[in-house]
A = this chain, B = another copy of it.
Amino acid sequence: MPLGERGGWERSESRYCGVETDFSDDVPSLLSFHITTGGFDYVLAPLMDPSYRPSLVEGNGLETRVLPVSGSDLVLSPSQWSSHVVGKISSWIDLDSEDEVLRMDSETTLKQEIAWATHLSLQACLLPTPKGTSCANYARCVNQILQGLTTLQLWLRVPLVKSGGGSVDATSEGLTDSWELWNSFRLLCEHDSKLSVALDVMSTLPSENSLGRWMGESVRAAILSTDSFLTNARGYPCLSKRHQKLIAGFFDHAVQVVVSGKPVHSLPKASDSNTEGTQRHPLRSYLDYVAYLFQKMEPLPEQERIELGYRDFLQAPLQPLMDNLEAQTYETFERDSIKYIQYQRAVAKALVDRVPDEKASELTTVLMVVGAGRGPLVRASLQAAEETGRKMKVYAVEKNPNAVVTLHNLVKMEGWEAIVTIISCDMRFWSATEKADILVSELLGSFGDNELSPECLDGAQRFLKPDGISIPSSYTSFIQPVTASKLYNDVKAHKDLAHFETAYVVKLHSVANLAPSQSVFTFTHPNFSTKANNQRYKKLRFNLPSDAGSALVHGFAGYFDSVLYKDVHLGIEPTTATPNMFSWFPIFFPLRKPVEVHPDSPLEVHFWRCCGSSKVWYEWSVSSPTPSPMHNTNGRSYWVGL
């Protein structure tokens, strides 16, 4: 029975809760007890008798014996197996043991159990935690298995530990950071998307920064031991504040909770009275508490629900200069009222600065909206004029003839014919008949300049007065390194170089931000200098927090912030983002090969904005701790057409 049904969370995988069980050769009873009586959604159960060792089988051959599995496949229906059982691979296996017999037994058993799980169409199997610090042979065997799997997922069980978690001393750490174990294992298995993590949550948690890393990793389950629960005043199990926060984070990232262990809370008798004598599941109070945590989560805001389907989904950035936008795209962006409120505020301030109160009735400000689209910036500008009592003449310049149709209708409908002149022309090539006091544009991409606002405004500033104002007056791009295993695997699935050298627009969700973002390129408008050009180069250095432990950087999340006019800004850089604005998702620059970084070795990154005669593109590379190849040389994979 799923944990909850409301607030938008009913669509999350995390609403299912499992329970870890011992081996049983009577699976139907196992399910009946834990699912029907206990209320759990599935069992995490061993598939084979734990006493089985292939090398001990008599006759040294398997011909005469059936595998000691938990009953025939017929004891449950295929859908029951698949929805109610996650296979738990024998925990005794140790593929990196010095003992060769144990090693061979482990390999044989692992392969037999996976084959059985595949036969049963299970959705997932839990792989036991590697026994030592070395896991190469285990990884080799799992990697062989992964090549043959189609639907079965493998969850590598890893304890959520990192010694030295709370301290600033970085030198003594490392070896006991279980993330390192996971990282080695998945690198050896080449980031296979069928390999995920199941984290054993302990009573002590590592530092916040260390926990944060996991939010960008492929974590499928959090195994909550009964030992990690506290006891509340009424004798019931509960979790510490930090544990609660962690579990909430897991719920938000589609991680399922599995309750594990023996009950350690003896509940007051009274509370059992309402179960009317029926047997109560010994772990029911733990499940109830997990369900309580799930249900007390804040409902998702409306906009978040709309955007659920976009989470971690790679989109090619728009090319509005080369392509014409479609009506639906205009429709979406025009609904972003916050953006137009900011523009209206900026225009209002510029109008007041331009024309003092005493001259408001005599001076007419010439305002040009370049890239007017279907007219929202024209409307915002006119509202600013009305609000400030300034006289204004508007030119609406738009290159998309389809949008111009709508624009004409708007002007007619609103009765703006006397004020607004529509120019159906590319702003770079229009011969204006007079010069503008204010140039208003919204040509910004997720990374600021990536939709070629600089080149467009360079072309348009010909018809701005020397002392004229550009709104926006400047914009800056930002990046930060992220762990984003899902995005990386989605890029990798294309199996070509081009997709690794492309920037994507993404609603980032299953992503761990590893360091605060830093500014990359800034453009200021107008810029009448003859020496100016729009090529840029920026070297950036990021330091991980000292208590974070190592992390894998799959690429960079990119944002922008724009100064519209003076103190009026607009942007999506997380620390200063304009609230409730939804026109831009962040941009994501992938790395061809993820780079492992440590708190004591800074990540050095280079970004270039390169300009050719017909296109603009970015190149990027990492030079430290290990140099990466240059990405997107000469814009071979990804570019924006002029």
Binding site for B on A (CB under 8 A): 60, 103-104, 134, 136-137, 139-140, 143-144, 147-148, 183-184, 187-190, 530-531, 535, 537, 539, 593, 596, 604, 606, 608, 619, 621, 623, 626-630, 633-634, 636
Q: Are A634 and B147 in contact (CB under 8 A)?
A: yes
Distance (whole angstroms) from the CB of A57 to the closest CB of chain B? 13
In the complex, A140 Cα to B632 Cα: how many Å? 10
> Which B residue sits closest to A185, measured CB to CB?
B627
In the assembled complex, the Cα of A537 lies from the Cα of B190 at a distance in Å of 20
* Chain B residues whose C-beta falls within 8 Å of the C-beta of A188 in the assembled complex: 621, 623, 627-630
**CB <8 Å contact, B630 and A103:** no
In contact, B608 and A190 (Cβ under 8 angstroms): no
Query: Cβ of A184 and Cβ of B623 under 8 Å apart?
Result: yes
In the complex, the answer to whether A137 meets B606 with C-beta atoms within 8 Å is yes
A633-B537 contact, Cβ under 8 Å, with A188-B621, A606-B137: no
- Assuming the contacts A147-B636, A623-B188, A636-B147, asked whether A140 and B630 have C-beta atoms less than 8 A apart, the reply is yes
Determine whether the beta carbon of A596 is less than 8 Å from that of B626: yes
Contact A140 to B606, CB < 8 A, known contacts A60-B530, A147-B634: yes
- Contacts A/B (CB < 8 Å), 27 sampled: A60-B530, A60-B531, A136-B621, A137-B537, A137-B608, A139-B621, A140-B608, A140-B619, A140-B621, A140-B630, A140-B633, A143-B630, A144-B619, A144-B634, A147-B634, A183-B627, A184-B623, A187-B626, A187-B627, A187-B628, A187-B629, A188-B627, A189-B629, A189-B630, A190-B630, A596-B626, A626-B626
Residues from chain B with Cβ under 8 Å of A634 in the complex: 144, 147-148
- For this chain, the copies found in one complex come to 2
Q: Give Cα A140–Cα B536 distance, bound, in whole angstroms.
A: 13
Which residues of chain B are near A148, meaning CB under 8 Å? 634
Closest CB of chain B to A545's CB: distance in Å? 22
Q: Are B539 and A136 in contact (CB under 8 A)?
A: yes
What residues of B have a CB within 8 angstroms of the CB of A606 in the complex? 136-137, 140
Kindly identify which residue among B530, B537, B626 contacts A103, using a CB–CB cutoff of 8 Å: B537
A630 contacts which chain B residues (CB < 8 A)?
Answer: 139-140, 143, 188-190
- With A137-B537, A537-B137, A630-B140 known as contacts, the answer to whether A593 contacts B593 (CB < 8 A) is yes
Contacts of A190 in B (CB 8 A): 629-630
- Residues of chain B within 8 A of A184, CB atoms compared: 623, 627
Residues of B within 8 A of A189 (CB): 629-630
Chain B residues near A539 (CB, 8 Å)? 134, 136
Give bound CA distance, A21 to B403, whole Å.
Answer: 64
Q: What is the CA–CA distance of A626 and B595 in the complex, to the nearest angstrom?
A: 10
User: Which residues of chain B have C-beta atoms less than 8 A from A530's C-beta?
Assistant: 60
User: Chain B nearest CB: distance from A464 CB in Å?
Assistant: 23
CA distance A95 to B558 in the complex (A): 26
Bound CA–CA A129/B60 (angstroms): 67
Nearest-neighbour CB distance to chain B for A622, whole angstroms, equals 9
Q: Which residues of B contact A140 (CB under 8 A)?
A: 606, 608, 619, 621, 630, 633
**Distance A634 CA – B629 CA, assembled complex (angstroms):** 29
> Which 8 pairs, one residue from A and one from B, show the smallest C-beta to C-beta distance?
A190-B629, A187-B627, A136-B606, A143-B630, A184-B627, A136-B623, A188-B627, A144-B634
**Bound CA–CA A283/B593 (angstroms):** 49
**Could you tell me the distance between the alpha carbons of A606 and B134 in the complex, rounded to whole angstroms?**
11
CA distance A188 to B144 in the complex (A): 32
What are the residues of chain B within 8 A of A537 when measuring CB–CB? 103, 137
Task: Select A623's contact among B60, B134, B623, B628, beta carbons within 8 Å.
Answer: B134
Q: How far is the CA of A168 from the CA of B143 in the complex (A)?
A: 40
Cβ distance A528 to chain B, nearest Cβ, rounded Å = 15
CB-CB nearest in chain B for A95: B537
Chain B residue nearest to A630 in the complex (CB): B143
**How far is the CB of A53 from the nearest CB of chain B, in Å?**
14
When distances are taken between beta carbons in the complex, the residues of chain B under 8 Å from A136 are 539, 604, 606, 621, 623
Question: Nearest Cβ distance between residue A414 and chain B, in whole angstroms?
Answer: 47
List residues of chain B with CB within 8 A of the CB of A593. 593
When A103-B537, A187-B628, A606-B137 are in contact, do A143 and B623 touch as well, CB less than 8 Å?
no
Which residue among A104, A188, A189, A596 has the maximum number of chain B CB atoms within 10 Å of its CB?
A188
- Chain B's closest residue to A606 (CB) is B136
- Contact assessment for A144 and B627 in the assembled complex, using a CB-CB cutoff below 8 Å: no
Known pairs A60-B531, A143-B630, A188-B621; list 6 more (Cβ under 8 Å). A60-B530, A139-B630, A148-B634, A184-B627, A187-B629, A189-B630
Q: Which residues of B contact A627 (CB under 8 A)?
A: 183-184, 187-188
Most buried by B among A143, A535, A621, A630: A630
Alpha-carbon gap, A573 to B416, bound state (A): 90
Q: How far apart are A603's CB and chain B's nearest CB, in angstroms?
A: 13
Which residue on chain B has the smallest CB distance to residue A605?
B136
Chain B residues lying within 8 Å of A636, measured Cβ to Cβ, are 147
Contacts of A147 in B (CB 8 A): 633-634, 636
> Contacts A136-B606, A137-B606, A628-B188 hold; do A144 and B633 have CB atoms under 8 A apart?
yes
User: How far does the Cβ of A488 sit from chain B's closest Cβ, in whole Å?
Assistant: 14
